[in-house]
Each structure stands twice: as C-alpha cells, then as structure tokens.
C-alpha cells in the first residue's frame, strides 16, 4: 500500500521545474544572443525576456563596486513587461536602484545598506512605493541567498570575461562569487557585465560554467575609493586617542588580529604603529593579522615590517600595484593581483579576529550605538558583523582569553569590540545621548527592530578624548553606566557623572585616563604620524601607490 502511494506521488511530480523554466527562458533569447554574449545595445530587450515579473533579482552593488550598466539597463525596461520584482541588494547606492521602484518595475526590497539613498528610501517607504523586506548585515543577506532569498536572477559585474564565460574580477572580486553561486547552483540565471571581452584572462575568479550570459558594458563599472583617508585631516585629539588605544588596549590585551573602521581615528592608529608603537617595543607583539581593505594608511606599517597578513573585503582604487608588489602580505592570484572576497572577509572579521574598532555617531548610556539620522533609512552594511562578539566562538587567543572576568570553570573569552569617538560630533552634537535616534526611526518607519549598529552588551571598550572605559570589567549595569559617563565629557550623559567616583573607577581599572597609561596629552602631535599626507604615503610605497586624482593635492 505504502509503496504504491509513493510511486503515484513520484510519477505525478516533476523534480526539474526550475531547470525547465530556465531552459525556456534561455530559449527565448537564442536569436538575440551570440553564444554567451548579449550585444551591448540589446541588453534591455534581453532582460525583459530573461527576467520575469515577480522574480527575485540579486543586483550587485556594495559600498565600492556597482553593476552600474546592468542597473541602468534594468531601469530602462518596460514596467508593462517587467514588474513586481523582488530586489536583493547589498547596497542601495545609485539613483536608479530606487528609480526601478518608482517606475513600478520592482516592488519589494531586501538590503543591507542604503546610506547614499537614505532619504529617498524613507520617503518611498512612507509613500508605499516599495515594500520593505528586512534590513541585514552583509553576512546575513549573503546567508539568506542560500536559504529563503534564493535569487532567480543574478546581475553582477566583472572586469573581464572570455568567450567561455570565465570571469576575471581581479582586485575587486568582493561579493561577486557569492551572488553568482546562489543563483547558478539552483537553476537561476546569471548575467554578468564586463568591462572587456578577451581571449585570455589574467586568472579565473569565477568559472564559466557558473555563468549564463555576459554583456560588454558601455563604460567600466562604477568603483568608489572609499577607504582612502588623507592624513592631512587627522587631528591631535585623534592622535591622542590612537596612543591610548595602542597602550591601553592593543598592548594591554596583546591584540594580534583585528579589523579597523574607515574613520580618521583608526587611520591615526595605523600611522602610529611605525613610530609611537615601535618606540614602545611592540613590533611583532600586536597588529600582525588584519581583515581589512588595502588602506593606504597601512602602507607605512607594512613597509616597517609590522604586518604579517591582510585579507580584504574589496580592493581600493590606486592600491593595485602596491598590493601586487607585496604578495607576502596580501592574498593574491597567480597573475599577482589582489583577490578580495567580501563574504569570507566579513566572516573572518566576525569569527576569527581578536578585535574590531570603529567610530559611531551616537552612543546611549548603556553603550548601544547607532549611525542613523532621523528621517533617513540607511541600514547597516558590515560594521555589525565585525562589531559583535560571536557567542559560538570556541578557539582561543590571548586577547580573547584576556576578556574573561570570572573564575567559573565554564568561563569563556570575548571578542574585543571597541568604539572610539570624540564626545561631540561636528556641529556641537553630543555623541553620548539619553536615547538613540534609532528608536525614533524604528517608530517612524515601522521597522521590526530599532536600527542599532552595535549592541551595548557586545562593546568591551569605549575610547574618548577623556580616556578609556573598560566596559568588559564592569559587573553590573550601574557600574557600566558609571564607566561610560566618566569618559563622556560634558555631554548630557557625561554630566550625570559624579566626578568623585572617577578616582575609584581608576583604582579599579574600569577607566583609564591618558596619565594612567603614561601618555602626556602634550605629546599627542601630528609629528608622530608616520605619514602626514598622501604624498608621504606614496613615498613610503616607493611610488607603487597611485592615489586617485581627488586625493592628489600636488
């Protein structure tokens, strides 16, 4: 009886519906394409055939690299033919990323970051012009591509392709392999824009059997130099903070592997390694392994022999030759150029490094932080992946173990999550606030959770121009708030601090002022920076670093 039922069921059902549907779509463009190649001027037509209404479409774009030719083409499709698309985008960056919703081509969106379009996002959500899926961190979004957001179509960008569809993504490999994998291995359609079609690739980053179509773009994909910080803008206060971080955190806990944010305060740390940190005899003891984009400000440390390895999320415009010439340090291909991978570097930065340090715009009295602004919907990106203590971690490192504060036989370590801020932003806005704007944004936009960038219970240290709060050492919420208030200056949160408590907190080692770390405020001068300008970074690199025009002042 049982056998018979099984047979009937098996006979009735097709197990290749996805593949059949894909074949039909491929068939529909066979007169339009030349092998794998879609003619540049027929991309819109091809998209209207290869993509169907209601499809889940993953469109490549993050804070650096954009599949700009394909996004522009998608915006030119006819909403009568193509509508109700469910877009999945790491970053909503370009105007047409939202134009496709205004025009009715797309309806629902799942994303990680929308900073460059954050006002239009908020407006369109309010006006009902788009339906919100969820806001993710990068890793979460990539994860869901393999679970419940499996794409029907992937639209991605590569530098070069050959006639077989093999792709070269070079230094800017970023998330392309992840997006392609999610579509290619579940009978989705993969369309790749390339800057160039060529007979021989420098190396293969993505094999041709994962790719359905390539199209030569009318201009190279958009690429932003987002991780270049001109040392000219680094202030004495940021140098003071960098000195405190080096002594009071990196040296104290023996931090060997780490990720840095993109602020000037972390650029200052990078530029103090060959000078200040060197004078403390810390070379070889701290900052050896990095998950970090090729920051130009890391060049002096690399040249001075501080850095063993760097794995990158993406490339950085101008760093190509330098990276290729330092292959002991960076991940590079046979061709010599950088191989980045956002998914793997995010994962490494979440699970495998000792420390994350970055800046923020607001911190509440419990240490929760946020970068949102009222009336805007910006999302997260990758910072919350780095800026969080992954609870399931097992492997130990000296710094991780150093965060243990209990004698419990089951006690475990903690990732170091450090926030470095000045107590006031420009424009006299306090960073330490009673309540995060994120709570209002949640209310105004109907989000399921308040858009907190880093949760207070993950934060181990907060560094301001006043000193360091060692939050991981506090054993009660009250103590934690005292420690934060003690370094919060004259902000509303800082003013709640009873200055008599300061000495007690110092004695307990819960806060440290610069003098407790043997740092004289007057020593924090720009003369400590290993490079004080972009020109000096170029000099350190022996001319290998080629900064984009906007960073050249000479």
Partner 1 sequence: MKLAFLFPGQGSQKPGLLNELPACIAVENVLAAASETLNESIFNFHSKEALASTKAVQLSLLTAGVAAFKAFEAEGVKADFVAGHSIGAFSAAVAAGVIDFQDAVKIVELRGELMEQAYPEGYGMGVVLGMEAHKLQALVDYHFDEKYPVFMANQNAPDQITVSGALSGIQKVLDAAWKNDARCASLLNVSTPSHCPLLASVSDALTEALHDIPIHRPVIPYAGNRRARLLLDPVDIRLDLAESISSAVQWHDASTVLYEKGVRLFIEMPPGNVLSRLAAKAFPDARVLSVAENGFDDCQFIAKRERLK
SS (H, E, C) 295-364: CHHHHHHHHCCCCCEEECCCCCCCCHHHHHCCCCCECECCCCCECCCHHHHHHHHHHCCCEEEECCCEEE
- If one asks whether residue 443 binds partner 1 (CB under 8 A), the answer comes out as no
Measured CA to CA, the distance from residue 486 to residue 469 in angstroms comes to 8
Give CA–CA dist 498/504, Å, rounded: 11
The β-bridge partners of 154 are 58, 190
Regarding 127 and contact with partner 1 (CB under 8 A), the answer is yes
Check binding of 95 to partner 1 (CB under 8 A): yes
Q: Provide, rounded to whole angstroms, the least separation between the CB of residue 426 and partner 1.
A: 10
> Shortest approach of partner 1 to residue 499 CB, angstroms?
21
- Residue 94 interacting with partner 1 (CB under 8 A): yes
Q: Are 206 and 169 in contact (CB under 8 A)?
A: yes
Residues 182-197 as b or e (16 or more Cβ within 10 Å = b): bbbeebbbbbbbbbee
State the Cα–Cα distance between residues 324 and 319, nearest whole angstrom: 9
Three-state secondary-structure class, residue 56: strand
Q: What is the footprint of partner 1 within residues 359-418 (CB under 8 A)?
A: 374-375
CB 387 within 8 A of CB 358: yes
Written as six digits, the tokens of 545 are 């670093």
Residue number with CB closer to partner 1 (440 or 457): 440
Choose one: 113-121, 311-319, 402-410, 527-535; the region binding partner 1 (CB under 8 A). Answer: 113-121
Of 123, 235, 425, 496, the one binding partner 1 (CB under 8 A) is 123
Q: How large is the angle between the packed helices 264-272 and 236-245, nearest 10 degrees?
A: 60
Can you give the length of the chain in residues? Answer: 554
Tokens of 285: 């003891």
Q: How far is the CB of 81 from partner 1 (least distance, A)?
A: 21
Which residue lies nearer to partner 1 by CB, 103 or 464? 103
Residue 271: CB minimum distance to partner 1, A: 23
CB of 121 to partner 1, least distance (A): 9
Residue 429 C-beta: closest distance to partner 1, Å: 7
Min dist CB 105 to partner 1, Å, is 16
Q: Please give the structure tokens belonging to residue 167.
A: 């792709």
Residue 496 found at the interface with partner 1 (CB under 8 A): no
The interface region with partner 1, picked from 37-45, 115-123, 145-153, 229-237 by CB under 8 A, is: 115-123
| Interaction between residue 429 and partner 1 (CB under 8 A) | yes
Using CB under 8 A, count the residues that bind partner 1: 16
Binding-site member from 140, 440, 523, 539 for partner 1 (CB under 8 A): 440
Judged by CB under 8 A, the stretch of 71-79, 94-102, 235-243, 330-338 that binds partner 1 is 94-102
Residues of this chain that bind partner 1 (CB under 8 A): 94-95, 98, 116-120, 123, 127, 374-375, 427-429, 440
């Amino acid at each position: 009886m049982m056998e018979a039922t099984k047979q009937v069921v098996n006979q009735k059902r097709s197990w290749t519906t996805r593949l059949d549907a894909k074949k039909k779509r491929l068939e529909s463009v066979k007169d339009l394409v030349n092998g794998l190649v879609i003619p540049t001027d027929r991309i819109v037509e091809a998209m209207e055939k290869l993509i169907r209404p209601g499809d889940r479409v993953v469109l490549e774009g993050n804070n650096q690299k954009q599949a700009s030719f394909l996004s522009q083409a998608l915006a030119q499709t006819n909403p009568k033919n193509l509508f109700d698309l469910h877009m999945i985008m790491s970053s909503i960056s370009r105007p047409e990323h939202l134009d496709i919703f205004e025009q009715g081509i797309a309806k629902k969106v799942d994303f990680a970051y929308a900073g460059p379009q954050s006002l239009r996002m908020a407006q369109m959500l309010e006006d009902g012009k788009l339906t919100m899926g969820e806001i993710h961190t990068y890793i979460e979004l990539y994860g869901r591509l393999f679970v419940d957001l499996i794409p029907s179509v992937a639209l991605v960008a590569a530098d070069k392709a050959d006639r077989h569809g093999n792709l070269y993504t070079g230094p800017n490999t970023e998330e392309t392999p992840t997006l392609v994998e999610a579509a290619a291995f579940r009978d989705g359609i993969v369309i790749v824009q390339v800057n160039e079609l060529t007979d021989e690739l420098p190396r293969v980053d993505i094999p041709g059997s994962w790719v359905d179509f390539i199209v030569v773009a009318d201009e190279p994909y958009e690429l932003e130099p987002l991780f270049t910080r001109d040392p000219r803008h680094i202030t004495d206060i940021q140098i003071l903070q960098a000195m405190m971080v080096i002594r009071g955190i990196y040296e104290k806990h023996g931090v060997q592997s780490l990720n840095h944010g993109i602020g000037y305060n972390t650029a200052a740390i990078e530029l103090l390694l060959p000078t200040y940190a060197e004078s403390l005899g810390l070379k070889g003891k701290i900052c050896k392994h990095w998950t970090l984009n090729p920051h130009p400000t890391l060049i002096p440390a690399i040249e001075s022999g501080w850095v063993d390895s760097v794995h990158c999320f993406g490339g950085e415009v101008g760093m190509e030759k330098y990276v290729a010439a330092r292959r002991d340090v960076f991940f590079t291909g046979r061709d010599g150029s950088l191989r980045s991978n956002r998914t793997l570097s995010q994962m490494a930065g979440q699970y495998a490094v000792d420390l994350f340090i970055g800046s923020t715009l607001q911190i509440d009295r419990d240490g929760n932080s946020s970068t949102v602004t009222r009336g805007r919907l910006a999302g997260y990106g990758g910072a919350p992946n780095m800026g969080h203590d992954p609870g399931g971690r097992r492997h130990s490192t000296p710094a991780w173990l150093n965060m243990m504060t209990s004698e419990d036989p089951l006690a475990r370590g903690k990732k170091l999550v450090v926030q470095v801020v000045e107590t006031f932003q420009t424009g006299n806005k306090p960073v330490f606030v009673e309540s995060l704007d994120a709570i209002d944004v949640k209310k105004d936009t109907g989000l399921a959770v308040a858009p907190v960038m880093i949760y207070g219970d993950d934060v181990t240290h907060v560094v301001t121009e006043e000193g360091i709060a060692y939050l991981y050492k506090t054993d009660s919420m009250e103590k934690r708030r005292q420690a934060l208030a003690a370094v919060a200056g004259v902000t509303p949160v800082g003013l709640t601090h009873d200055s008599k408590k300061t000495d007690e907190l110092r004695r307990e080692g819960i806060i440290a002022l610069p003098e407790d770390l043997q740092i004289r405020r007057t020593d924090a001068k720009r003369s400590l920076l290993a490079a004080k300008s972009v020109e000096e970074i170029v000099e350190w690199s022996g001319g290998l670093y080629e900064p984009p025009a906007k960073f050249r002042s000479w």
